[in-house]
Amino acid sequence: MNETDDKSPEKVFELLSLSRKGQDVTVRDDQYEFHSLLDSVKLCRKRRSRFRLIDSGKFDRFQLEWITEAGADFYTSDEVRRNAQELEFINEACKKGATVMVYFHHGILELEEGNDSLAFSGLLDLGRSGIYIHLTNKERGRDFSLLNQLAYNCRRGGSWLVYYHHGSLEAYLVELGRNGAWIHISDQSIQGEKDSVLLQDIIKSLRSAGTNLVLYLEKELDFSLLHDIVKADAFVLFTSSLFDYRSPMKALERESRKKKLDFRTYYLYPTFLP
């Protein structure tokens, strides 16, 4: 994946060269002029690679409809756009172009629309329209009943709620998985063997809904626990090579690295927990 940040002719040439080579390209919409981005999108589409456009608010709805229908995946958030109707129009262009819209909701889940947030009913509409919605509890707690509604509506719309969970494992994650969410956690959420039963229940509920758990591993876990997680078919992302080649853990690491995450299950990069 390549990220670029210059409007100079040299950088435009570099962008187009990457697109011609069939490499995935990720740029913000304020890094190049519209027609340079559009040319790059068309080249990526021709080479069957992905073009990911990060929204800074520079382009209007009609420009975004044009570029997404041409082949750009569109990544935005409530920090940039909060008009549900506008987002749904852009998503219709994504559908025509066989691309995806991903919406990261950072704010609180408001039942009524406020100055700085999209009303929860608007988020439900986005989910039902097929927009992939991402949420984290890193900065603020989340009402699990609202998360379940959102996951269910995303599932109805043919997309997913992707939820990044910080803190100890909670029983409500089982129901969230059953409603069709993808759930990301780190090893810090696993407090040893006492969490093994709950963790397996969470994975089973996710797998039954056709989704999965993504575990970010930064430290060594108990071998039997990690073995059970891998054998349950969850995704384990090793942030670094933790184990000596002689360690029995190494086989589990190799097995896990063979599995490839669907790009729709993470926000741009699967290297950290938002």
Measured CA distances, 46 to 13, 16, 21, 22, 49 (Å): 17, 12, 10, 8, 8
Topology at the third CATH level for domain 1-104: TIM Barrel (3.20.20)
Highest mean pLDDT out of 11-15, 54-58, 117-121, 215-219: 54-58
Q: Output 250 or 68, whichever has higher pLDDT.
A: 68
Separation CA 128–CA 130 (nearest Å): 5
Q: How many CB atoms lie within 10 A of CB 231?
A: 10
Percent of the chain with pLDDT over 90: 75
Domain with CATH 3.20.20.70 in the chain: 1-104
- pLDDT given for residue 242 in this prediction: 63
For residues 229 and 215, the answer to whether their CB atoms sit within 8 Å is yes
Give the mean model confidence (pLDDT) for residues 192-214.
93
Topology at the third CATH level for domain 105-274: TIM Barrel (3.20.20)
Lowest mean pLDDT among 9-18, 109-118, 204-213, 230-239: 109-118
Give the mean model confidence (pLDDT) for residues 132-156.
96
Mean pLDDT, rounded, of the chain: 91
User: What's the pTM value of the predicted model, to 2 decimals?
Assistant: 0.92
Separation CA 244–CA 153 (nearest Å): 44
